[in-house]
Chain A
Amino acid sequence: MMTMIGITLKGIFRDRVFQGIMVTACAFLLIPVIASLSMRQVTELSVTLSLSLISFILLLLSVFLGGTSLWKDIDRRYTFSVLGLPLSRQSYLLGRFCGTALFVMLSAAVLGAAAFAVVCYSSAIYPADRPIIWSTMALCILFDALKYILLIAVAFLLSTVSTSFFLPVFGTIAMFFAGGVAQQVHEYILSPASESISPVVRQIANGLYYLLPNFEAFDLKVNAIYGLPLPTGGLLLTLGYFFVYVTFLLSVSTAIFSRRELR
């Protein structure tokens, strides 16, 4: 499995994904310029833009790396040669997943460093109203990365049942949005404003709320941007949620993939 992780990382680097990220990361240079358009919150705006840029890049990575990793191996028939080795399908899948997840972490770290530099620069030129809490910002980026690793696990699950890349890629994007609004929808369903909704729909929405990944909890952007205190207990719960959910997704994926016929 370790070699599989190594091979996966090597593949991502050799496919020049990292260079692509670096090119996209050039957008960081524009952030101080755009942020200076703000009236009162230049630093806050540069934090917002940096975090959003990181989040966006990680989203692209997780959708495309996560959604195409297995599909590509099956489509290009790499699976025949690799799974002909004494490598269990479980180690193969987990190796692929961990390699991709590691790459997302790595990218988050590099992009995070760039974001720190940008925010440092912005706040040096236009002193901020609010204190910048660097640890909050780092945690925000970390939880963002965790969120996208969860999304990669979703992409892998979809890949194990699909024969084309449409389901993994578009399914993952759909899941990303669904997971983002799950909490809002849930709260709406619980609010009195939803009384007109039929109980069946309400039950379905409720079921989906517990089934779909909940990405809301991973979003610490507001805390990072405005230096708001972090909910420590909530973060620990989120961390627990992350591990349980990812493990669940991966075990289902492994079960499906182990039974899959490679024709």
Chain B
Amino acid sequence: MKTASTALICIVIYSFLMVPFTTYLHKKPFVEKLGYVPSVTALKIVSADHKELVAASLVLKVLMYFGGQVEKPESQIHIPPDYMAMSRMLHGAVKLDPYNMDAYYFAQSFLTWDVKQYKMANDLLAYGMKYRTWDWYLPFLAGFNHAYFLKDYGKAAEYYKRAGELSGSDLSRLLAGRYMQESGQTDLAIAYLSAMEKGERNPSVKKNFRLRMTAFQEVRRIEVARERYLAERGVAPPSLDVLVRDGMLVPPPKDPYGGEFYIGSDGRVSTTSKFAFAGAGRDTTSKESK
């Protein structure tokens, strides 16, 4: 009887305790949640013959953390994910299992667009290509990085060729020919993003791609309107508002990242959000500096 009542009391206390306890865990800083990766050498020893498992779990950890981050923007809390910690983890993962596709693929998606560490991304891809010799995705990604971000069309063409050969499809060849010029940048990005989005299974990553693609489709719409304005009036539109007012841009463009589109002095279409949630509102000075 006594033990039964003790157990009952424990259950009551437990249920009271669980509320603040779970709240506390929920509010823990994200870096803490993501954890720190011990040195890869140590991991290699501890993981014994489970290196692939440990690598996969590191990748999954990053994915889950990122998934939680993508959900957040909708509730208007903009805390940029700790990309560097994510990158460290993924680098650790490919040291343990150099064949882990998820790691390359995911690292590529944020190292370029969000953190702008093109060199780091390309080095990682080159490392992966040494192992995943059959995989056309890695040269495809590298090619895109070189074409879109680094504007190194020669190198990009090389990678695209390799991707084309490996995949046996004409996707990469198509990309290679048509977008290898400055003016084709937006189309290149849209083509790239739609290819990536189609192949994606992870819902939060897929959503991320779709969001970015929507933004680029908006950019494309503005660019089309800009060209039309130039063709009809003979001068470049002085601002985006003019295009909207003149009915060339219906409905008005909307940045899914919460920023505002503008046409820079060089005629390029940009957005104050820089295609990232973190960018919106954080610095409005970027408009001037651009």
CB nearest neighbor in A for B60 = A37
Q: Check B50 against A42 for contact (C-beta < 8 Å).
A: no
Instruction: Please name all residues of chain A whose beta carbon is closer than 8 Å to the beta carbon of B101 when the two chains form the complex.
Output: 39-41, 44, 129
Cβ proximity bits A196-233 to B, threshold 8 Å, 1 near / 0 not:
00000000000000000001001101100110100000
**Residue tally, chain B, CB below 8 Å to A:** 30
Is B48 within 8 A of A177, CB to CB? yes
Query: Hey, which chain A residues are within 8 Å of B205, CB to CB?
Result: 39
With A39-B202, A126-B201, A226-B99 known as contacts, the answer to whether A48 contacts B56 (CB < 8 A) is: yes
0/1 interface trace, chain B 61-86, chain A, CB 8 Å (1 if under): 00110000000000000000000000
Whether B102 lies near A41 (C-beta < 8 A) is yes
SS of B interface (majority): helix
Query: Across the interface, do A40 and B102 meet the contact criterion of CB distance under 8 Å?
Result: yes
Chain B interface residues (CB < 8 Å from chain A): 44-46, 48-53, 56, 59-60, 63-64, 97, 99-102, 105-106, 132, 134-135, 137, 199-202, 205
Q: Would you give the shortest CB distance from A197 to chain B, in whole angstroms?
A: 15
Chain A residues lying within 8 Å of B46, measured Cβ to Cβ, are 177
- Of the candidates B60, B97, B132, the one whose C-beta lies within 8 Å of that of A38 is B60
- Pick the contact of A181: B44, B105, B137 (CB < 8 A): B44
For residue B55, which residue of chain A has the nearest CB?
Answer: A48
- In the assembly, what is the distance between CA of A38 and CA of B201, in Å? 8
Residue of A nearest to B45 (CB): A181
Given contacts A38-B60, A225-B52, contact A177 B45 (CB under 8 A): yes
A247 contacts B by Cβ under 8 Å:
no
Give A78 to B60 CA distance when docked, in angstroms: 49
- Docked pose: A215 CA to B47 CA in angstroms: 13
Nearest CB of chain A from residue B227's CB, rounded to whole Å: 36
Residues of chain A within 8 A (CB-CB) of B105 are 39-40
Report B-chain residues with C-beta under 8 Å of the C-beta of A48.
52-53, 56
Report chain A residues within 8 Å CB of B53. 48-49, 52
